[in-house]
Structure 1
């Protein structure tokens, strides 16, 4: 598996990068859950999202936030982690300077960071937000949300309760010019234990492929 080390704001960041030989392939970064609750880039949801994007023809990077694995630095309440994500996107873009599409995907805490990155980087054309913890973090910065995307969660999620996710989606759907697609997977918990993982990834695949097709017409 292609390991990469790239510069972050607080030292080196450790990642995994998979590239296609196709010229100007789209790019995506995948962000992992909370570092203080065992979240790493090898989390099962993150791993599966990574390969879903790769299988759709993306050049994909996932990485460990500061203080996780071989990434240097210490946990920074989300502020530093957002800077890490920006550095990761910079690195990915430096390897793919002519990519026409740029996506961000995040799971749980990573979804919160990903949505903040979306606000700061106008080149991001789409997002996938898996089990965003709307009960724990303030998502009011999404005013307005700058790009269309997919929010996906399970109806049995006890970490990020569905009612909070639905409230977030309703708020975002009121905004003009973007389309928020919301999918709830019946019976799935926060970590999309089998058989729900395959269902979740199937929805991501279907959504992203549709968006790519629409953008190439």
Structure 2
């Protein structure tokens, strides 16, 4: 046995030891039930977690695609040209400035947008405008990949925590089972043990 074998058994072998099944006569039925149930839980986790993560990611991706299409249907791109100088005394990163919106198929009209201080007059800015009001609105937000990745990661984390909790609960239940059986067996053995101990002569006496 190598020098690190006892340390491996003490610190790293708890779960592995619980999942072992061998012919050791000291391993009781409770030990084997815990071992095989733990193996079954790990097998189910290995089979179901990837499928659940894929399903969650696919569902989140399609939901994000639908949301992106809905946003794109309510707005369209246009060009804004600044017609005034932004206020440079506020210290804010973005300040309001009047612009002229050039929208294909519509007459130019005035609006307000926010730009960085120091933006010169006549600067052309790509913007999105609302199809109904003509106001400048944020561009469609395409978060398909981010949403799918978050769904996959969250599902994997939650699934892993559930498996860990199930293994811990299994250990608690089996330990209580072991204790009950040990107490029942001890009530049978203890009188015999006590009688044999009291009837044994004291070796220290002559």
Which TM-score band (shorter chain)? under 0.3
Which has the larger strand fraction? 1
TM-score under structure 2 normalisation?
A: 0.19
* Structure whose alpha-carbon radius of gyration is higher: 2
Highest RCO, 1 vs 2 (Cα 8 Å, sep ≥ 6): 2
TM-score under structure 1 normalisation?
A: 0.18
Which has the larger helix fraction? 2
